[in-house]
Chains A and B, each alone.
Chain A
Amino acid sequence: MTTAPAVAAPRAPLIAAKGVAKTYRAVDGSAIDALAAFDLAVDDGDFVCIVGPSGCGKSTVLRLVAGLTEPSAGRLSLGGRRIDGASPEIGVVFQSATLLPWFTVRDNMRLPLRVGGQRVAGDARVRELLAMTGLAAFADKYPYELSGGMQQRAAIGRALARDPKVLLMDEPFGALDALTRERMNVELQRIWQMSRKTVILITHSIAESVFLADRVVVMSPRPGRVLREFRVELARPRSFERTPGEPEYLRLTREIRALLDRGAEEEAQ
């Protein structure tokens, strides 16, 4: 036979960070190393959660991938191209919902279709997003008329407006109460399964990361680098009735907690 052997060609990851470092200048002039030698590869369609202690540079990773800040060293790429600014292939969900209070939910979701060189009427798209996030009945409400969970859902809808490949989320549910947070996790899983985006979600909740992710990336205290990655093989759709009781879930949360505790102890010494 003359057919070439089926080489498992290593597909280039959608998002790649190689040896990325970020140094901030503090107010007093001293240098703060937020990230050092940070490596990450995210494949198309992956749901990756990044967990780490506060101040470990998690948010910096997100800002770098979003093109909101430049690395001090190293290389970041999206689809093989160097990231050198914001891209329509990336939707960002910030810590607070960051809805514009002077716009209705509908106009907030339409915003990405109206600025940055986009000139889409987008009525149909906005209707889709409202339906997807379960906010159709609240389209003409203002953000302050919505609950915290609904606001964050609207923010997710807005981030998806341009149908980006990648969704970046920076502790999106950190400000919500525990029950709403669990509901939002289920909701996000549903939206993710519907839209099949690549997601990078930053969180400090181990439970949230294991519940949501295909892969959990654990970061060290500052300067942040990747300590270890965990693959999560739990079946989807996951639910809070079933998943937290599974041995795999328990094992992963235990191991991640142990790893984070060790990091905290090392830092304390």
Chain B
Amino acid sequence: MRRLDSKSLELADVGRPAGAGAARAGRIALTLSGGIVLLLLWQACVAWLGVPPYILPAPAKVLAALWSGLAVPVTSPTGFYLPLASTFANAAWGFAIGAILGIAVGSLMAEFRAVETVLMPYAFAFQVLPKVAIAPLIVIWFGFGNGSKVAMAALLAFFPLMVNSFTGIRTADQERLDLLRALSASRLETYRVVKLPSAAPYIFAGLDMGMVYAILGTIVAEFLGAQQGIGVAIVQAQAVTDVASVFAALILLGAVGIALHLTIRLCERRIVHWTVRQDT
């Protein structure tokens, strides 16, 4: 794809068939109406079949629960804001730590055969382990406070970044590496100028995955015991069979996930601007 500057963009707009924008709006409308139909069906099923609310609450109930958690002061102990902030903060710290370590270890493995030989088999052995099963150990080591949540998030975010930065660096273009060699560039210079930027698209794909895993890790650690967080809110709601609140918490988590995904994509487009537009 070629980058469109403002001028060619205007031309493209002029030249575009009049229906193109409408078609896009139509697709969005279709997706939305699909969701609305699903909600209506859900509501209808619950009403007609008499499903008890502790099995499946009606969407209206879920929306009410969501509203009651959101339409409160930010510092309210019954609101969603405090647990959400706690979960988000822990996931973000874990994500940052896991991502930085993952990129560092992936880079070292890609740069030094010896490091690769030593670590790769263990990394893969660890990779196939269902890491959620390690959560109880993490809680034993890091306690019931924020430490275990951050550690779990970091652990889960680490792997996609390690694997992706390793792969990305190894796929750096040979001619570009030759160029740096012809310029007598040092290993660090080559890493900084060619290898890391070459790996950037892979690293962003890893960040996208790692973000989802970091939230997953935090929630799992919260399930095992915590003072605060969305995971705690879910467990507490479950304990009193307030299924509508469980759904509300899930919707909130989904919304946060989408927002973070879009943020990462936005950063990617800004930083790795050449991937979609280059053809050299």
Name A116's contact: one of B173, B185, B200, B274 (CB within 8 Å). Answer: B185
Task: Flag whether A54 is at the interface (Cβ < 8 A).
Answer: no
Interface centre among B3, B175, B279, B280 (most CB of A within 10 A): B280
Encode B184-217 as 1/0 by CB contact (under 8 A) with A.
1110010001100100100000000000000000
Let me know if A144 and B280 touch, CB within 8 A: yes
Task: Flag whether B71 is at the interface (Cβ < 8 A).
Answer: no
Task: Flag whether A111 is at the interface (Cβ < 8 A).
Answer: yes
Let me know if B175 and A94 touch, CB within 8 A: yes
Let me know if A95 and B185 touch, CB within 8 A: no
Let me know if B182 and A143 touch, CB within 8 A: no
Let me know if A98 and B186 touch, CB within 8 A: no
Q: A161's closest neighbor in chain B, by CB?
A: B183
Given the complex, which residues of B lie within 8 Å of A111, measured CB to CB? 183, 193
Given the complex, which residues of A lie within 8 Å of B92, measured CB to CB? none
Chain B: interface residue total (CB-CB under 8 A): 27
Let me know if B182 and A67 touch, CB within 8 A: yes
Q: B276's closest neighbor in chain A, by CB?
A: A144
Question: Which of the 9-residue segments A10-18, A36-44, A83-91 touches chain B?
Answer: A83-91
Let me know if B2 and A98 touch, CB within 8 A: no
Name B193's contact: one of A63, A87, A115, A142 (CB within 8 Å). Answer: A115
Q: A63's closest neighbor in chain B, by CB?
A: B178
Given the complex, which residues of B lie within 8 Å of A92, measured CB to CB? 178-179, 182
Bound-state Cα–Cα, A87 to B183, Å: 7
Let me know if B278 and A86 touch, CB within 8 A: no
- Residues 229-280 (chain B) with a chain A CB within 8 angstroms: 272-274, 277-280
Smallest CB–CB gap between A142 and chain B, Å?
6
Smallest CB–CB gap between B2 and chain A, Å?
7
Given the complex, which residues of A lie within 8 Å of B183, measured CB to CB? 86, 111-112, 115-116
Let me know if A96 and B175 touch, CB within 8 A: yes
Bound-state Cα–Cα, A88 to B194, Å: 19
Given the complex, which residues of B lie within 8 Å of A101, measured CB to CB? 274, 278, 280
Smallest CB–CB gap between A268 and chain B, Å?
32
* Given known contacts A94-B175, A144-B3, A116 and B184 CB-to-CB distance under 8 angstroms: yes
Smallest CB–CB gap between A240 and chain B, Å?
26
Chain A: interface residue total (CB-CB under 8 A): 30
Q: B5's closest neighbor in chain A, by CB?
A: A145
Given the complex, which residues of A lie within 8 Å of B184, measured CB to CB? 85-88, 115-117
Task: Flag whether A227 is at the interface (Cβ < 8 A).
Answer: no
Task: Flag whether A151 is at the interface (Cβ < 8 A).
Answer: yes
Let me know if A100 and B185 touch, CB within 8 A: no
Let me know if B180 and A115 touch, CB within 8 A: yes
Let me know if A115 and B189 touch, CB within 8 A: yes
* Given known contacts A95-B175, A99-B280, A100-B194, A86 and B181 CB-to-CB distance under 8 angstroms: yes
Given the complex, which residues of A lie within 8 Å of B280, measured CB to CB? 96-97, 99, 101, 143-144, 148, 151
Task: Flag whether B131 is at the interface (Cβ < 8 A).
Answer: no
Q: B274's closest neighbor in chain A, by CB?
A: A101
* Given known contacts A98-B175, A99-B280, A100-B176, A145 and B181 CB-to-CB distance under 8 angstroms: no
Bound-state Cα–Cα, A66 to B180, Å: 12
Let me know if A144 and B277 touch, CB within 8 A: yes
Interface centre among B183, B185, B194, B277 (most CB of A within 10 A): B183
Given the complex, which residues of A lie within 8 Å of B173, measured CB to CB? 98
Task: Flag whether A258 is at the interface (Cβ < 8 A).
Answer: no
Given the complex, which residues of A lie within 8 Å of B5, measured CB to CB? 145
Let me know if B3 and A145 touch, CB within 8 A: yes
Name A94's contact: one of B178, B194, B273 (CB within 8 Å). Answer: B178
Bound-state Cα–Cα, A67 to B183, Å: 10
Given the complex, which residues of A lie within 8 Å of B182, measured CB to CB? 66-68, 86, 90, 92
Given the complex, which residues of B lie within 8 Å of A115, measured CB to CB? 180, 183-186, 189, 193
Given the complex, which residues of B lie within 8 Å of A100, measured CB to CB? 176, 193-194, 197
- Residues 58-72 (chain A) with a chain B CB within 8 angstroms: 63, 66-68
Let me know if B3 and A94 touch, CB within 8 A: no
Q: B173's closest neighbor in chain A, by CB?
A: A98
Given the complex, which residues of A lie within 8 Å of B193, measured CB to CB? 100, 111, 115
Q: B185's closest neighbor in chain A, by CB?
A: A115
- Residues 145-193 (chain B) with a chain A CB within 8 angstroms: 173, 175-176, 178-186, 189, 193
Bound-state Cα–Cα, A88 to B181, Å: 11
Let me know if A102 and B175 touch, CB within 8 A: no
Let me know if B274 and A102 touch, CB within 8 A: yes
Among all A-B residue pairs, the 4 with the closest Cβ atoms: A116-B184, A101-B274, A144-B278, A115-B185
Further 9 A-B residue pairs, CB within 8 A, beyond A98-B176, A116-B185:
A67-B182, A86-B181, A90-B182, A94-B179, A96-B280, A98-B175, A102-B272, A116-B183, A143-B274
Q: List 28 A-B contacts (CB under 8 A).
A: A63-B178, A86-B181, A87-B184, A90-B182, A96-B175, A96-B280, A98-B173, A101-B274, A101-B278, A102-B200, A102-B272, A111-B183, A115-B193, A116-B184, A116-B186, A116-B189, A117-B186, A142-B273, A142-B274, A142-B278, A143-B274, A143-B278, A144-B277, A144-B279, A144-B280, A145-B3, A148-B280, A151-B280
